[in-house]
Amino acid sequence: MQIEFVAGPLAATVSPVARIVDQDALPADLEAVVLEAARAARFSGKAGQACDAFVARDGAVVRVALAGGGDAKAKDRTAALERAGAALTARFLTSGEAALTVDFTGTRLAPAEVAAVLLGARLRAWRYDLYRTKLNEEQKPSLKSIRVAGAPEGTEAAWAVEAALAEGVEFTRELVTEPANVLYPASFVERAHKRLDGTGVKIRVLDRDEMAALGMGALLGVAQGSVREPKLLVMEWKGGPAGGKPTAFVGKGVTFDTGGISLKPPAGMEDMKWDMGGAGAVAGVMLALAKRKAKANVVGICGLVENMPDGNAQRPGDVVTTMSGQTVEVINTDAEGRLVLCDAITWTQKEFAPAAIVDLATLTGAMIISLGHEYGGLFANDDDLAAKLLAAGEASGDKLWRQPMGPAYDKLIDSPIADMKNVGPREGGSITAAQFIGRYVDKGMPWAHLDIAGMVWANKPGQTWDKGATGYGVRVLDRFVRDNLEG
């Protein structure tokens, strides 16, 4: 969707035109028919509400819409304004209207607040209809642009930052949505090149032979049952002080997960195309950071594999040697994400000696049982890093909830024949998975693990997304960079 800024006063006959309304504060200058429409729709300006009506102005019929901006004094005002923009898009996306003008004249919103409205509007407009060839005309999106009128000075600059974020979220949604016959390790890398080349992000790719030479037995063990070659995608953004240590974001990129020999039940297995959601978020945030020229040093690493059950596949009971030298008894081949991450994290530490590591993974179904689809799980060995990520989650809307770790959980993954096994008992499944990854983090290295299994895909529309890929992870990482890595 295009966002266009309109200079000068808005003509009375522009249609459709929308206004953002604070809760319980309907503008006094609204026509009686608009006020009646609001009353009939029980519109009071609550966040996410929307209504519209047709009125006569200067001899023309004008469509007027109202969107609720919520309580002007609420601490979650930004989120409410995003919902206002999203509500407008949801109402007009397939309405037959090609453009919508949002008039901010007299709203007293700051530039960042107007940008929040626009961000919500753009994110809610994203759809991926590439493979839908028989949509009825009334089902096809008609809304192509939003025109912005009456915005305060500085809004275009504020929007440029949020537009970069939106582009990153949209890229992640695209990656997560694509089917596994289209998106696999090599084509994931191709997409990253297509979107990141020319932005200032430096890309490197390690292939199977290079990873084998480095001793990445855990990651390669997951990949050995697939004809798709594994890749380690490395994206570097150097926008901060020269020579400064980067912060590393590491993503699990299992482009399809059958479970391997420990085969998943057939029902719902098609969802496992989004088991690369962590890697998708890392690629998306790297694009967002580059597009807005973030003043920070960040490296994104994606361990890309496909987990398949052919005659060469890894077996339950196999023992693999990780790049760190530690050995793992593979009890369950469906606990593969941690095997990918452990080698990716070891390589990241050796290659970059980062200031901190944050990994993202659709790691465990147990996380969904614990937190549903409202929060991602946060595990960390550093309280300061955890607090910063929790704050970034709250501010961005990609919410996180901290989970416990400790020696009592760690001993649950001890193996009788190797250094560790890749699963513990049924109870505490998300925690033992985090404990496993934690064994590969160097002493003194601040590290956080985000288990986002319940967040990357939605079975119903949300506040700023339609049914499908949410783009979760990009916003929390971007906010973390803004608040903590940029001066």
Residues with a catalytic annotation lie at 264, 338
Collapse the DSSP code of 417 into the 3-class scheme (helix H, G, I; strand E, B; otherwise coil) and give the result: coil
**C-alpha span between 222 and 304 (Å, rounded):** 10
The candidate with the shortest Cα–Cα distance to 173, out of 461, 457, 460, is 457
Largest CA distance in the chain: 85
Q: What share of the chain is helix, strand, coil (3-state, %, to 5)?
A: 35, 20, 40
DSSP 8-class letter at 133:
-
* Angstrom distance (rounded) from CA 7 to CA 206: 50
- Measured CA to CA, the distance from residue 216 to residue 267 in angstroms comes to 32
State how far the Cα of 261 lies from the Cα of 404, in Å rounded to an integer: 31
| Tokens encoding 6 | 């309109």
How many of the other CB atoms lie within 10 Å of CB of 412?
18
Phi and psi dihedrals of 55, rounded to 5?
A: -135, 160
Helices (H), 6-51: 32-40
Q: Measuring CA to CA, which residue among 360, 263, 363 is closest to residue 315?
A: 263
Rounded to 5 degrees, what are φ and ψ at 286?
-65, -40
Helix or strand run (H / E) with residue 69: strand 60-70
Q: 362 by DSSP, 3-state: which?
A: coil
